[in-house]
Amino acid sequence: MSLPTGPEADFGTVAGLIGEIAKQTPERTALIDGERELSYGELDSLMDKIAAKLVAEGVAPRNVIAICATTSLEYVATFLGALRVGIAVSPLAPSATPESLAGMLRDSGAKLLFLDATTRASLAAVNVPKIALDDTPPDTRFSDFRAPTGARPPEVPIGSDWVFNIIYSSGTTGTPKGIEQSHQMRWFHVRPPGRDAYGPDARTLISTPLYSNTTLVCLFPTLANGGTAILMRKFDAREFLASAQKHRATHAMLVPVQYSRIMAMPEFDDYDLSSFKMKFCTSAPFSAALKSDILKRWPGGLVEYYGMTEGGGTCILHAHEHPDKLHTVGRPAPNHDIRLIGEDGREVAQGEAGEVVGRSSAIMNGYHNQPGMTRAAEWYDAEGHRFIRTGDIGRFDEDGFLTLLDRRKDMIISGGFNIYPSDLEAVLLQHDEVAEASVVGIASAAWGETPVAFVVAKPGTAPDAEALRQWVNARLGKTQRLAALRLVDRLPRSTIGKVLKRELRDSFDGKLA
């Protein structure tokens, strides 16, 4: 199988690559969903039928459709079919509130909404034509929403700057923003193949939801290069291990909380995971201890990506090659420019901490309908080059590896001193009875803000909150000490594992000096 890799591959489309694979190897398996499979030939034909039907329904190139449903073959085919004729896709989180979903649909301007039985109730009040991917009533059945066999959609010359998808932020810091990613940005994600590429022999286990960029950055490269994507409708640690063994998975993209649950399975070592070539991680802080455990017990390489859905710049840590750098997120990816800036917007000196900004060919167009927020997310260097601000505080070491200190918005300023919650969380996790910990800043009359910890105890333990607070404070600097510590059953998290610190702040019921 031969796909473009030279100068002629400066720009192409994901849907176009799938069409080329279908011509060359139509019987190759593209998607596995439980007991169902689609070959590349079948996927390509279904994409054509969906694309032709969308056009027949009056959805024009550069219009938007939305999908809010559980992962399935139909979901993937609809996404790709729309892309084939230049229609952008807005994949929405089924876990969002009805009000939030309605707001995202209004903002996106979606012409059609694809849903299933799991999301119908949340979308009942939305006045957008609906198609049921699972054929459930009362909406138009997906099996009826396709052009006749043999139908071909019109040829659409897709511009590199056209919007590929609009991904809405999780909304953990307020109203979700629609992140516009272009066809050019996605092309850079899939071509040309890099050192960690998904080749034709890749069997990628997809266990994160399809509305997340975390998922799409492994799904699209797998399909664009002729691999097989194995779809999990819902993550479960035991089911993941069983599927990986059954399908001889070679690649997987997981978020840290998923790795944690998998590694904690008592029967983990009973599964045959020898087929794995590479495992990836992104989206949330990934502890050095967890990375080390994975390297010891799970075959294949381990790569951590640090970046944003907005793009800009990415750092990569090949953990299996740099076991002494597991506390970092690696070095800037090839042709990615990562810099650190201070509060004054100027670059900081070598060795100093600053906000991480990044620039590369993979960068968002902007926030949909939000030019002001787009400008606020940008930083320009002296030559006028556009960077994206991450909101993260980091520091480069002498070898060029980036260590993240914390989110800028989560940094606690107490009595004029900057306190990075991750430093305190790292100390808490050293305690034998602590499974998880998150530190937030709580308003204080005396200090402005002061740190408070929320801790999940390890199973079978019952630590005393005050004794644990004193243990931690004895190991912290004077300005870092915890004002309070709360034991909780769990930490609130987004669907991709990020701790919702705003919810923790709101839940604090104590009074501080």
Decide if 168 is inside a domain. no
The model's confidence at residue 6, banded by pLDDT at 50, 70 and 90, is: very low
Euclidean distance between CA atoms 228 and 24, whole angstroms: 15
Residues 236 and 365 in one domain: no
Q: What is the DSSP letter of 11?
A: S
Asked which of 250, 283, 306 is the last residue of a domain, the reply is 306
pLDDT in tens, 283-299: 878 889 999 999 999 99
Query: Once rounded to an integer, what is the mean pLDDT over residues 64-92?
Result: 98
Phi first, then psi: give them for residue 49, nearest 5 degrees: -65, -40
Phi first, then psi: give them for residue 8, nearest 5 degrees: -70, -10
Euclidean distance between CA atoms 40 and 171, whole angstroms: 36
The model's confidence at residue 405, banded by pLDDT at 50, 70 and 90, is: confident
DSSP 157-189: ---TTSEEEEEE---TTSS--EEEEEHHHHHHH
Mean pLDDT computed over every residue of the chain: 92
Distance set, CA 388 to CA 44, 152, 310 (Å): 35, 40, 8
Q: Look at residue 8 in the predicted model and tell me its pLDDT.
A: 45
What domain count does the chain have?
4
Give the distance from CA 351 to its chain's centroid: 29
**Amino acid identity of 276?**
F
Element (H, E) at 505: helix 501-507
Does the pLDDT of residue 455 top 50, yes or no? yes
- What's the CA angle centered on 452, arms 447 and 453, to 5 degrees? 160
Query: Which range, of 46-50, 64-68, 393-397, 502-506, averages the lowest pLDDT?
Result: 502-506
Does the pLDDT of residue 511 top 60, yes or no? yes
Name 106's Cβ contacts closer than 8 Å, sequence gap at least 6.
none
Pairwise pLDDT comparison (426 vs 171), residue with the higher score? 426
pLDDT in tens, 164-186: 999 998 643 456 899 999 999 99
Does the pLDDT of residue 210 top 70, yes or no? yes
> Closest Cα to residue 281, out of 320, 250, 313, 252?
252
CA-based R_g, the chain, Å? 23
Under 8 Å between Cβ of 8 and 16: no
Q: Find the length of the chain.
A: 513
The model's confidence at residue 1, banded by pLDDT at 50, 70 and 90, is: low
Element (H, E) at 66: strand 64-68
Tokens of 64: 């938007």
Under 8 Å between Cβ of 401 and 325: yes
Q: Look at residue 20 in the predicted model and tell me its pLDDT.
A: 96
Query: Once rounded to an integer, what is the mean pLDDT over residues 219-234?
Result: 97
Under 8 Å between Cβ of 336 and 359: yes
Residues 313 and 443 in one domain: no
Euclidean distance between CA atoms 490 and 510, whole angstroms: 19
Q: Look at residue 114 in the predicted model and tell me its pLDDT.
A: 98
Residues 27 and 153 in one domain: yes
Decide if 490 is inside a domain. yes
Phi first, then psi: give them for residue 224, nearest 5 degrees: -70, -15
The model's confidence at residue 52, banded by pLDDT at 50, 70 and 90, is: very high
Euclidean distance between CA atoms 138 and 117, whole angstroms: 10
pLDDT in tens, 188-207: 999 866 777 789 999 999 99
> Closest Cα to residue 21, out of 193, 267, 199?
199
Query: Once rounded to an integer, what is the mean pLDDT over residues 112-121?
Result: 97
Tokens of 411: 């940094």
> Closest Cα to residue 92, out of 246, 211, 217?
211
Question: For strand 378-380 and strand 386-396, is the pairing parallel, antiparallel, or unpaired?
Answer: antiparallel
Domain that holds residue 215: 191-306
Euclidean distance between CA atoms 153 and 436, whole angstroms: 51
Euclidean distance between CA atoms 205 and 228, whole angstroms: 9
Residues 209 and 267 in one domain: yes
Asked which of 406, 427, 461 is the last residue of a domain, the reply is 406
Name 374's Cβ contacts closer than 8 Å, sequence gap at least 6.
366, 367
Under 8 Å between Cβ of 60 and 69: no
Asked which of 360, 377, 406 is the last residue of a domain, the reply is 406
Under 8 Å between Cβ of 448 and 432: no
Euclidean distance between CA atoms 154 and 473, whole angstroms: 67
Decide if 54 is inside a domain. yes
Decide if 513 is inside a domain. no
Phi first, then psi: give them for residue 486, nearest 5 degrees: -115, 135
- Residue linked to tokens 């002629």: 8
Decide if 338 is inside a domain. yes
**Amino acid identity of 72?**
S
Q: Look at residue 3 in the predicted model and tell me its pLDDT.
A: 61
- Exposed (0-12), middle (13-18) or buried (19+): which is 274, by Cβ within 10 Å? exposed
Pairwise pLDDT comparison (369 vs 150), residue with the higher score? 369
Decide if 225 is inside a domain. yes
CATH number, domain with residue 490: 3.30.300.30
How many C-beta neighbours within 10 Å does residue 353 have?
19
Euclidean distance between CA atoms 452 and 480, whole angstroms: 10
Q: Look at residue 513 in the predicted model and tell me its pLDDT.
A: 54
Euclidean distance between CA atoms 500 and 461, whole angstroms: 25
Q: Look at residue 170 in the predicted model and tell me its pLDDT.
A: 60
Residues 83 and 96 in one domain: yes
Residues 89 and 73 in one domain: yes
Residues 333 and 258 in one domain: no
CATH number, domain with residue 374: 2.30.38.10
Does the pLDDT of residue 85 top 60, yes or no? yes
CATH number, domain with residue 210: 3.40.50.980
Residues 332 and 241 in one domain: no
Residues 154 and 20 in one domain: yes
